[in-house]
Amino acid sequence: MKIIFLGTNGWFETDTGNTLCVLVKSRDYDIVLDAGSGFFRLDRYVDGTRPVYLLLSHFHMDHISGLHGLSKINCSMGLSIIGQTGTRNVIDTIVNRPFTVPVDRLSYKTEVLELPADHGRVPFGLEYLPMTHSDPCLGYRVTVDGKTVAFCTDTGYCENAVNLGRNSDLLITECAFRSGESNHAWPHLNPETAARIALEAGASRLVLTHFDAARYITAGDREKAAISARGVFPGTVHSHDFMEMAI
């Protein structure tokens, strides 16, 4: 299975990265984690030969702005957008006039699956738990092709992130804060708290992503975060746009 990081910034895009989007290419499905501006690059990797499943963590703009690019992606085998209760209403609102091309004008079939109501229609292993964030946000655990990938973004340290990452082959977490930084009113992870989640979960590897655009200016800032995180969890790397890894 191949994991491709298409956008690795949080909040807004910079020369260092687009906002969050990760592609999990499995044997039978193209699974996309969030639709920040990295989503605009999806057409280079998705060719319509597999059904596409888009998992949305929440609706902050750095996780959905790429939906404006739906019309340039080849989803000939269909697109299923998966998210928390209320996702259908959000999609009906923003993937519509006057914001962008309406869903019913796309050249392929699109459906929205809301959790928990439509969980039974997801064709691969999927677990989800609420994250600790300013607005409702879901973390995910995807099991497909015998591998498990956990995706915990926009959250402070929480037990739910540890539970989703439990014994995973790959844990992907956000890293919006700099080393040692915290804020109880607006929780996010720093390199050490992200690494603590990976350590407590017994994950095989940790990838840091969703680097806050105002705090992480250069690629070197990310490298320093990974070095700090490795002091807690040695199997940590930082992501950058277009990074690919096989698990």
Binding footprint of Zn ion on the chain (CB under 5 A): 10, 60, 62, 154
| Minimum gap (Å) between residue 33 Cβ and Zn ion | 12
DSSP 3-state of 138? strand
Residues whose CB falls within 8 Å of the CB of residue 48, separated by 6 or more in sequence, listed in order = 74, 75, 76, 77, 108
Q: Helix axis angle, 191-201 relative to 219-230, nearest 10°?
A: 40
Return d(Cα 239, Cα 219) in angstroms, integer.
9
Token output for 229: 């995180």
Comparing CB distances to Zn ion, the nearer of 62 and 241 is 62
Comparing CB distances to Zn ion, the nearer of 103 and 208 is 208
Return d(Cα 108, Cα 93) in angstroms, integer.
19
Comparing CB distances to Zn ion, the nearer of 60 and 222 is 60
| Minimum gap (Å) between residue 216 Cβ and Zn ion | 13
| Minimum gap (Å) between residue 81 Cβ and Zn ion | 18
| Minimum gap (Å) between residue 60 Cβ and Zn ion | 4
Instruction: List the one residue out of 146, 138, 192 whose CA is nearest residue 170.
Output: 146
Comparing CB distances to Zn ion, the nearer of 95 and 175 is 175
Instruction: List the one residue out of 125, 197, 122 whose CA is nearest residue 155.
Output: 197
| Minimum gap (Å) between residue 169 Cβ and Zn ion | 24
Instruction: List the one residue out of 246, 210, 247 whose CA is nearest residue 34.
Output: 210
| Minimum gap (Å) between residue 133 Cβ and Zn ion | 6
Comparing CB distances to Zn ion, the nearer of 154 and 192 is 154
State CA 83 to chain mean position distance. Answer: 12
| Minimum gap (Å) between residue 117 Cβ and Zn ion | 23
DSSP 3-state of 220? helix
DSSP 3-state of 246? strand
Comparing CB distances to Zn ion, the nearer of 7 and 69 is 7
- The reply to whether omega before 51 is within 30° of 0 (cis) is no
Comparing CB distances to Zn ion, the nearer of 1 and 138 is 138
